[in-house]
Amino acid sequence: MTVTALPPFTAPRPADGPASVWPASTVERPHGRLEVGGVALDEIAEGHGTPVYVLDEDEVRARCRAYRDAFPEADVHYAAKAFLCRALAHWVDEEGLGLDVCSAGELELAVTTGFPAERILLHGNAKSPDDLRTALRLGVGRIVIDSPAEIARIAAAVGPGDEQKVMLRVTPGISAGGHAKIRTGSDDQKFGLSLRDGHAQHAVARVLGQPRLRLTGLHCHLGSQITDVKPYLVAVRRLVGLMARTRDAHGVVLPELDLGGGHGIPYRPGDPALDLPALARRVRAELVESCAHAGLPVPRLIVEPGRAITGPAGIAVYRVLAVKTTPERVFVAVDGGMSDNPRPALYGVRYAPRLIGRRSGAAPMRATVVGRHCEAGDVLAEDVPLPADVHPGDLLALPAAGAYHLSMASSYNLVGRPPVVAVSGGNSRLLVRRETLEDLRARDVGL
């Protein structure tokens, strides 16, 4: 099946949004009803309660295929930290992608679902003993070494006569990403080994000196929500430079280069997004040119999209609980908030919610959509247009909610985490059930 590379998709869209904000299957019906995957969002809200996450399976699969089409000679690994459940692991596996995980929990869930362990990479700047034991027990494909201390720890944990493939995470000294808190490729932060101070080159020598470890390549991750291709090109040049120095110093040609992910998506109409075809074309050209200049064979490329696969496929649906007008603004309070989406509070993400389930003839007003939690910073969307007659009981849909929502959710104020409902071809099914008060009580064993 041939899928047009992103962006954009070309299926019908809501009248008020560009092609890249809502899933491709989104259609506006009479009376303000919004359908995704052939299922009305207000019906899902009535059947499963709110807040609720809706995930368009076909959009997830199409985006997997778009990456495969854009990078036909590379390995594409879905970054599970964006969102992971058993069904999603199954979809990613069926679409031929690998997986990268950051914990024993993510790894166990994927492998027990049937995901091949050899197509999984384990990341993490501070892997626990349980993370490493689980990775070795399950036969994970690669462990990405993030600090010098991990080299001896992993080597000591590998059984006699066995060998573990590893990669080395390098910090290339590049500042890229949508916010300072999600820029991970610059020096002087917790991830990776710096190129600038020589730690990366020294770590290469140490790994090559461990007979139970096989260094397959270099890894970097520049940050998140990157919308410009140029930082990736700089990373290619700098990492190929280290690969050349590794060959010169040790006679070893590394066969893999992992550029990580962080590919930016739009959250609101008019937001920039990373151009996937341009990224693939220009990274490939830069890699070929840099390797030719260094006299190296072109390594196998690995990319790790997470947000760009699931983010645009997800929608969060909330019910309005209260509307409050002050001299400065109108607050629209909903039944979720920072417990199911901490991203606005953490690093100022902005969304574009819209009224669903009824059509309003009222003029638009500027409103601030806030959550139900005991924090002034519990704001989901600030200064956004909503109908002036919005009232308690209304439903609001928030697009681009498929990544870093449930995966970062909490039970703050003992509010259970929302369920996830998949839609496809006019059908819906529950993937992750709602966390109940009984679930929360069961963990409290103090009496």
Average pLDDT, the chain: 91
Cα-Cα-Cα-Cα torsion 63, 65, 69, 74, nearest 10 degrees, comes to 100
What was the pLDDT predicted at 20?
63
Residue closest to 301 by CA, chosen among 416, 188, 167:
167
In which residue are the tokens 């280290």 written?
A: 242
In whole angstroms, what is the distance from residue 255 CA to residue 65 CA?
A: 25
Quick check: is 4 in a domain? no
| CATH code of the domain containing 375 | 2.40.37.10
What was the pLDDT predicted at 1?
31
What was the pLDDT predicted at 36?
97
In which residue are the tokens 């009305």 written?
A: 40
Whether 276 and 223 share a structural domain: yes
Predicted confidence (pLDDT) at residue 184 exceeds the cutoff of 50: no
| In 281-347, beta strands by DSSP E | 300-303, 314-325, 330-334
Predicted confidence (pLDDT) at residue 267 exceeds the cutoff of 60: yes
What was the pLDDT predicted at 4?
30
End-to-end CA separation in angstroms for the chain = 57
Predicted confidence (pLDDT) at residue 245 exceeds the cutoff of 90: yes
Select the more confidently predicted residue: 2 or 350: 350
Structure tokens at 233: 């090109």
Structure tokens at 224: 């998140």
Quick check: is 18 in a domain? no
Quick check: is 305 in a domain? yes
Whether 73 and 47 share a structural domain: no
Quick check: is 21 in a domain? no
Select the more confidently predicted residue: 262 or 191: 262
Select the more confidently predicted residue: 334 or 172: 334
Whether 284 and 149 share a structural domain: yes
Whether 276 and 354 share a structural domain: no
Alpha carbon of residue 180 to chain centroid: 17
Query: What mean pLDDT is predicted for residues 219-230?
Result: 91
* Last residue in a domain, options 310, 341, 364: 310
Whether 334 and 438 share a structural domain: yes
Quick check: is 16 in a domain? no
In whole angstroms, what is the distance from residue 374 CA to residue 338 CA?
A: 10
Query: At CA 403, angle to CA 262 and CA 272, rounded to 5?
Result: 50
Concerning whether 374 is annotated as a catalytic residue, the answer is yes
DSSP state of 268: S
What was the pLDDT predicted at 19?
43
What was the pLDDT predicted at 175?
64
In whole angstroms, what is the distance from residue 313 CA to residue 100 CA?
A: 19
Q: Which amino acid, residue 284?
A: R
Whether 302 and 316 share a structural domain: no
Quick check: is 161 in a domain? yes
In whole angstroms, what is the distance from residue 246 CA to residue 252 CA?
A: 6
| CATH code of the domain containing 134 | 3.20.20.10
Neighbours of 1 (CB within 10 A): 5
Select the more confidently predicted residue: 174 or 251: 251
Q: Which amino acid, residue 391?
A: H
Structure tokens at 161: 């006569």
Overall domain count for the chain: 2
In which residue are the tokens 């990319």 written?
A: 303
Q: What percent of the chain has pLDDT over 70?
A: 92
What was the pLDDT predicted at 376?
86
Quick check: is 7 in a domain? no
Neighbours of 245 (CB within 10 A): 15
Whether 104 and 199 share a structural domain: yes
* Last residue in a domain, options 251, 282, 310: 310
Q: Give the range of the structural domain holding residue 232, as residue numbers without chain letter.
A: 57-310
Task: Determine which of 123-137, 162-176, 355-369 has the lowest per-residue pLDDT on average.
Answer: 162-176
What was the pLDDT predicted at 186?
46
Whether 408 and 366 share a structural domain: yes
In which element (H, E) is residue 88 found?
A: helix 86-94
Whether 113 and 129 share a structural domain: yes
Whether 340 and 299 share a structural domain: no
Question: Which value, in Å, is the radius of gyration of the alpha carbons in the chain?
Answer: 23
Predicted confidence (pLDDT) at residue 341 exceeds the cutoff of 70: yes
Predicted confidence (pLDDT) at residue 421 exceeds the cutoff of 90: yes
Query: What mean pLDDT is predicted for residues 144-168?
Result: 94
Length of the chain: 447
What was the pLDDT predicted at 13?
37
pLDDT digits (tens, 9 = 90+) for 313-326: 999 999 999 999 99
Predicted confidence (pLDDT) at residue 65 exceeds the cutoff of 70: yes
Residue closest to 172 by CA, chosen among 298, 255, 299, 258:
258
Whether 236 and 168 share a structural domain: yes
In whole angstroms, what is the distance from residue 399 CA to residue 220 CA?
A: 29
Q: Which amino acid, residue 121?
A: L
* Last residue in a domain, options 275, 294, 310: 310
The verdict on whether omega for the bond into residue 51 sits within 30 degrees of 0, i.e. cis, is yes
Task: Show Cβ contacts of residue 301 under 8 Å, excluding neighbours closer than 6 positions.
Answer: 71, 73, 74, 75, 256, 257, 258, 259, 283, 284, 287
In whole angstroms, what is the distance from residue 16 CA to residue 37 CA?
A: 18
Residue closest to 387 by CA, chosen among 357, 353, 355, 356:
355
Contact between 52 and 45 (Cβ < 8 Å): yes
Task: Determine which of 117-121, 196-200, 253-257 has the lowest per-residue pLDDT on average.
Answer: 196-200
What values do phi and psi take at 219, rounded to 5? -130, 145
Quick check: is 355 in a domain? yes
Whether 248 and 394 share a structural domain: no
What was the pLDDT predicted at 8?
35
- Annotated catalytic residue: which of 85, 102, 291, 374? 374
pLDDT digits (tens, 9 = 90+) for 81-99: 999 999 999 999 999 999 9
In which element (H, E) is residue 222 found?
A: none
Give how far Cα 432 sits from Cα of 119, 182, 302, 410, Å.
Answer: 24, 27, 30, 15
Residue closest to 191 by CA, chosen among 171, 167, 168:
171
What was the pLDDT predicted at 189?
65
Angle between helices 57-70 and 86-94 (to 10 degrees): 40
Contact between 87 and 348 (Cβ < 8 Å): no
